[in-house]
């Protein structure tokens, strides 16, 4: 019957290629971390983009683990926290492979990993928070440009470039940055098991190379993306597995 008929080429492929049921998924996080992808930047990491990639994981049968490949100088702290939460909530192990750069927000999202790998020269850490608010009132005045606005609320004009930053507004900004900085350090402390004092010593925006980060405990191991995948398979005792690269569904 037709049920017992198979094309000779399909049969040959089945003989040559063992059926691999278990899967390890690789998700790429490349570029600056932004909240909104409509910024004119063709390559960016956003919560929406990562959420879509994680959604694709549900289509993979027998998913055993996820490798997150990070190559990012950082960016939006809020976006980094949202992405950190997404990977922290996955029901399978997450290993992180850091590329040439995993700094600031890039390192932040890496803290969702059960194990963290870096190359020897990976720019790592930069545990800190920076905020810049351009103020152009004086320069605009020199050019004869004036601006008026209607605001409601004590700090509603904080980000208005035509309004000078008051002492009270500057203090509010410093407080907000300190809260974000402390949250960042808490994520690192939880993941790395390092004391708060040591975290502060390694933080303050300092940048480390991968081998230095390994020495002080900011990463687990030196290794490439392939090394990370192979070690995950070994840790999970996978005898036969396939690697699935996850991309955003354009349909």
Q: Estimate to the nearest angstrom the gap between the alpha carbon of 97 and the chain centroid.
A: 11
Q: What is the pLDDT of residue 247?
A: 84
Instruction: Give the number of other Cβ atoms within 10 Å of residue 230's Cβ.
Output: 15
Give the residue numbers marked as catalytic: 104
Whether the CB-CB separation of 23 and 58 falls below 8 Å is answered with no
Instruction: Give the number of other Cβ atoms within 10 Å of residue 60's Cβ.
Output: 15
Mean pLDDT of the chain: 86
Residue ranges in the chain whose pLDDT is less than 70: 1-20, 37-42, 131-163, 165, 249-251
Q: What is the pLDDT of residue 172?
A: 77
The tokens describing 9, both together, are 């080429």
Whether the CB-CB separation of 44 and 34 falls below 8 Å is answered with yes
| Radius of gyration of the CA atoms of the chain, in A | 23
pTM beyond 0.75: yes
Q: What is the pLDDT of residue 251?
A: 43
E strands, 48-93, are 63-72
């Amino acid at each position: 019957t037709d049920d017992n008929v198979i094309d000779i080429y399909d049969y040959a492929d089945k003989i040559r290629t063992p059926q691999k049921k278990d899967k390890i998924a690789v998700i790429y996080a490349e570029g600056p971390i932004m909240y909104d992808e409509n910024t004119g930047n063709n390559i960016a990491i956003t919560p929406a983009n990562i959420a879509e990639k994680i959604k694709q994981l549900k289509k993979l049968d027998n998913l055993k683990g996820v490798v997150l490949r990070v190559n990012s100088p950082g960016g939006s702290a809020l976006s980094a926290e949202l992405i950190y939460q997404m990977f922290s909530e996955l029901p399978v192990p997450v290993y992180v492979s850091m590329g040439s750069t995993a700094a600031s927000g890039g390192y932040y999202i890496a803290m969702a990993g059960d194990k963290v790998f870096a190359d020897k020269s990976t720019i790592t850490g930069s545990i800190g928070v920076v905020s810049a608010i351009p103020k152009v009132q004086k320069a605009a005045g020199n050019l004869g440009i004036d601006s008026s606005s209607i605001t409601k609320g004590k700090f509603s004009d904080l980000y208005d470039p035509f309004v000078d930053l008051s002492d009270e507004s500057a203090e509010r900004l410093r407080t907000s940055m300190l809260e974000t900085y402390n949250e960042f350090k808490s994520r690192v402390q939880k993941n790395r098991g390092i004391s708060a004092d040591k975290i502060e010593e390694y933080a303050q925006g300092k940048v480390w190379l991968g081998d230095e980060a390994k020495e002080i405990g900011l990463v687990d191991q030196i290794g490439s993306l392939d090394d990370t995948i192979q070690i995950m398979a070994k840790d999970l005792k996978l005898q036969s597995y396939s690697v699935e690269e996850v991309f955003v569904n354009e349909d």
